[in-house]
Amino acid sequence: MFVRVLGSAAGGGSPQWNCGCPVCAAVRSGAGPPRTQSSIAVSADRRQWFLVNASPDVRTQIEAFPGLHPRGDRTTPLEAVLLTDAELDHTLGLLLLREARALRLYATPAVHKVLCDGSGLVRTLERYCSVEWRPVVPGAGVSLGGGLSCRAFDVPTTKRDRFGSGENHGRVVGYRLTGERGGGTLVYLPGVQALTPALRAEIEGCDCLLVDGTCWRDDELIRLGLAGKTSREMGHLPIDGADGSLAQLASMGVRRTIFVHLNNTNPILLEDTPERRVVEDNGMEVAMDGLEVEV
């Protein structure tokens, strides 16, 4: 299976247009690469590709990746879009795909409901192209086509429910992806608030884990005076600390652990920071846009 990180930043990207924090300022001055918003493309055969999440930067991300370029006419290698949640950084790109003849969309009923009745993105999209919704059921394996299988799993969260769907089950999911003709297992988990025993069981022993690396510290945004909430309160387990993701993941037997969905304030975005060194010294990685992994 092949994975391409299309966008490695959290909502807003890096740098974020209205942010002058030390990391955004450093990225603007060229001290680190800019990053687009959170999304990956996955394929078992390098011919048919599946997006997991559609970011507001999807157009640039597709142009930057020849694997997703159309062949001849308007036949595109993009087979379907899988969603982990209904956040705007993961779904606004759906509207930018409206030129498609039809779009196959995998989402839980909870996420689909928000996209129809909350943000309304799918209702709007349906005015441009046909949307084939495939309901995602956590725990059930699905063959996506192109030799790729996936199984979603529920990710419990107390994250603010912006669109008030009232539904908690299936509001956020992660995906376990496998090639049907062998190869390893990829777990994609761009948003996780706590590594519960059930989530640890999903991750344990996978070959590659792309995991929520939003904030380094739990109080990162509070210290910078940018927000009143901790990282956990926003639905994202911080990396640092005795109960942070790095310490918990270090013992889980995952071959490659790569942090994605990086917030613009996170010091691991820059190569020469002590925080980045801690990640690397623990044998883990920080995703960049365009990173490709064979699993």
CA-derived radius of gyration, the chain: 18
The least CB distance from residue 88 to Mn ion, in Å, is 8
Q: Count other Cβ atoms within 10 Å, centred on residue 7.
A: 31
Could you tell me which residues come within 8 angstroms of residue 237 by beta carbon, excluding any fewer than 6 positions away? 192, 193, 194, 195, 212, 231, 244, 245
Distance CA 62, CA 177 (A): 21
For ligand MLT, the closer of residues 134 and 229 by Cβ is: 229
DSSP-derived secondary structure for 2-63: EEEEEE-B-TT-BS-TT---HHHHHHHTTSS--B-BSEEEEESSSSSEEEES--TTHHHHHH
In the complex, the residues that contact ligand MLT under the rule CB under 6 A are: 10-11, 87-89, 191, 234-235
Partner from Zn ion, Mn ion, ligand MLT, none binding residue 172, C-beta < 5-8 Å depending on class: none
Tokens for 45?
């055969």
CB of 225 to Mn ion, least distance (A): 21
Nearer to Zn ion among residue 21 and residue 150 (C-beta):
21
268 binds Zn ion (CB under 5 A): no
Residue 32, C-beta contacts closer than 8 angstroms, at least 6 positions apart: 23, 26, 269, 270, 271
* 7 or 11: CB nearest ligand MLT: 11
Candidate segments 5-13, 84-92, 241-249, 264-272, binder of Zn ion by CB under 5 A: 264-272
Beta carbon nearer to Mn ion, 103 or 262: 262
What is the spatial distance between Cα 243 and Cα 233, in angstroms, rounded to a whole number? 15
| CA geometry: angle 266, 272, 273, nearest 5 deg | 45
User: In a 3-state reduction of DSSP, which class is residue 253?
Assistant: coil
List beta partners, residue 3.
42, 293
Q: Provide the minimum distance between the beta carbon of 89 and Mn ion in the complex, in angstroms, as a whole number.
A: 4
x/- map, 9-38, Zn ion, by CB under 5 A? ----------x-x--x--------------
Closer CB to Mn ion, residue 38 or residue 185? 38
Partner touching 32 among ligand MLT, Mn ion, Zn ion, none, CB below 5 to 8 Å by kind? none
Nearest-approach distance from CB 37 to ligand MLT, in angstroms = 8
- Give min distance, CB of 10 to Mn ion, in A: 5
Amino acid, single-letter form, for residue 291: L
Q: Between residues 48 and 263, which has the closer beta carbon with respect to Zn ion? A: 263
When CB distances are held under 5 to 8 angstroms depending on the partner's kind, the choice from Mn ion, Zn ion, ligand MLT, none that residue 88 binds is ligand MLT
CB of 24 to Zn ion, least distance (A): 3
Confirm if 12 and 36 have CB atoms less than 8 A apart: no
Of all residues in the shown chain, the one whose CB is closest to ligand MLT is 11
Minimum separation from the CB atom of position 109 to ligand MLT (A): 21
Q: Where do contacts with Mn ion occur on this chain (CB under 5 A)?
A: 10-11, 87, 89
Q: Which residues bind Zn ion (CB under 5 A)?
A: 19, 21, 24, 264-265
